[in-house]
Amino acid sequence: MQFLKKTTLRLTVSLLVLLSVTAGMVSVAGAVGGQSHLKSKTAMGVAHYVITTPNWHKCDKQFLCTDLPVPLSYSNPGLGSIKISVVEYQALNGPGAPDIFINPGGPGVSGVQFLEADYKQFPLSLRKSFNLISWDPRGVGQSDPVSCLTTAQQTRSFLAVNPDPSTKKEINQEIQSIKGFVADCVKHTSKALLENISTSNDVRDLNLLRMDFRQAKLNYLGFSYGTYLGELYAQMFPHTIRAMTLDGVFDPDLSTLQLDAAQAAGFESELNGFFKYCDKNSTCSQGLPGGAASQFRQIMKQFKNGSTVVGQLLSKYGGNVTVNYAIALLGTIAALYSPKTWPLLGVGLGDIISNGNGQVLAGLAYSYAGLQLNGNFSNQYSANIAINCADRPSFGSLSQLEKSVQKLGSKYQDFGASVVWGNLECLYWPVKHQGSPGVIHAPGTPTILLVGSTGDPATPYQWAKSVANQLDNAVLLTRVGNGHLGYFVSTCVQGYVDNYFANLQLPKKNTTCH
């Protein structure tokens, strides 16, 4: 399983800039704030944790930024602390507004970059009444980042590794590539951080941030992987929650194979949705005149047999890059997160057929993988792998993984095999996983608002229904429609969510939005 997603809205903006050719530890500047003399009796297992007063400074024109310390290890405070990078968009109504903590997903996606880029995607009513706060979780972005792929070229090379090796030679090449990646992680990242990077530790960090900001109760809005963080928070700290909304719900009770199967099925379904859209859309069908499904599979078969095309990008994004099966498949997956990017997928596939030009698919793939405007990549791929490997057991052996590849590959022809191969890093990961699948009950919480979309490929709707049954106190709001997440594409969903945060009023049972 490789959860990896920010909102598709931002992916599209980054891509438009990227394609304009056709038309150690990093910390936020500024010192950590001074400490107050308030002490927590048992602050998340760390006795006498000293609450920190944030020392805010202006950043990116209209935001406030700060770094706040948290223990590197909650079980061994003697290992010292790391810094968590935090950003705030202040409520337009002025001082004294409550906070909403927002996690955009991932794992590995920078909450700081997300909020700075996408704050206007939140309705004005919410921005008036609440301070919007996000952060880079430990190991991500500017919060003591995991470092495995240290150059843009390394990242591009890693993204081009065959996602579905079939011959013994290809499998051995894949294994050597993965072992090299893992060795680089160990070389450039402290083992202590890798041992303490699980989502449960991020949950503890969030609770300390809540106390640092003097919030008696937490308001939390989590998207995609951020719903898993919210679920664990609810389980660990149920009595510190005021309101919690989880959109694109993750089911924590599934095994790795079950998660992979559900996501493979979800993306197969979304791909079929794209085919139907393309065949009915005059512009898209003109680029794929032989039928979208037939031509897509013809293209992918050629790529899988070793064919490549050139993607012409700006020089700072790699210039003329080689687009192979791995890049084409990743670009396809990126486009399937939202129907808004289906037209781009159609253009990209049509360009390959007509002009042998892989520019659009390369742009989609690189944007999805965290390409920045300066031409470098964020560390989200490295952090994604490190956190996933920490959070749950992978397959027990290479032979077990290969059997699962055959099982899902035969059932889901386009994505089944590759999604299982995506677990290979964890087989060679140097640190034992800390988390395991399990039902989430979270007794003692207020009612949690869950949002599930019926055509969500990355977090299937069934997961939202399952978690609604698992939690002791939850209500499910259903969005009928394709695409990952509901909040950013449905004013109906936004209305219910924002009213919940403002007035603690929940939608009635079985409420649906479009």
- Categorize the per-residue pLDDT at 23 as very low, low, confident or very high, splitting at 50, 70 and 90: very low
Nearest CA among 198, 208, 189 for reference residue 86:
208
How far is it, in rounded angstroms, from Cα 173 to Cα 11? 31
- Higher-confidence residue of 127 and 13: namely 127
Summarised one tens digit per residue, pLDDT across range 385-420 is 999 999 999 999 999 999 999 999 999 999 999 999
Mean residue pLDDT of the chain comes to: 91
- Categorize the per-residue pLDDT at 8 as very low, low, confident or very high, splitting at 50, 70 and 90: very low
pLDDT value at 28 more than 50? no
Region of residue 474 (phi > 0: left; psi between -120 and 50: alpha; otherwise: beta): beta
How far is it, in rounded angstroms, from Cα 149 to Cα 382? 7
* CB-based contacts of 459, cutoff 8 Å, min separation 6: 224, 227, 248, 249, 250, 452, 484
Mean pLDDT computed over 502-508:
98
Compute the half-sphere exposure of residue 409: CA atoms within 13 Å on the CB side of its CA: 15
Query: Which tokens belong to 383?
Result: 């952090």
- Categorize the per-residue pLDDT at 22 as very low, low, confident or very high, splitting at 50, 70 and 90: very low
* CB-based contacts of 14, cutoff 8 Å, min separation 6: 367, 371, 373
Contact 312, 357 (CB under 8 A): yes
Contact 66, 86 (CB under 8 A): yes
pLDDT value at 25 more than 80? no
pLDDT value at 49 more than 60? yes
Summarised one tens digit per residue, pLDDT across range 165-203 is 999 999 999 999 999 999 999 999 999 999 999 999 999
How far is it, in rounded angstroms, from Cα 513 to Cα 202? 32
Nearest CA among 228, 230, 233 for reference residue 259:
228
Summarised one tens digit per residue, pLDDT across range 73-91 is 999 999 999 999 999 999 9
Strands (E), 113-240: 131-135, 218-223
Look at residue 307 in the predicted model and tell me its pLDDT: 97
Summarised one tens digit per residue, pLDDT across range 484-497 is 999 999 999 999 99
Summarised one tens digit per residue, pLDDT across range 439-485 is 999 999 999 999 999 999 999 999 999 999 999 999 999 999 999 99
Look at residue 21 in the predicted model and tell me its pLDDT: 37
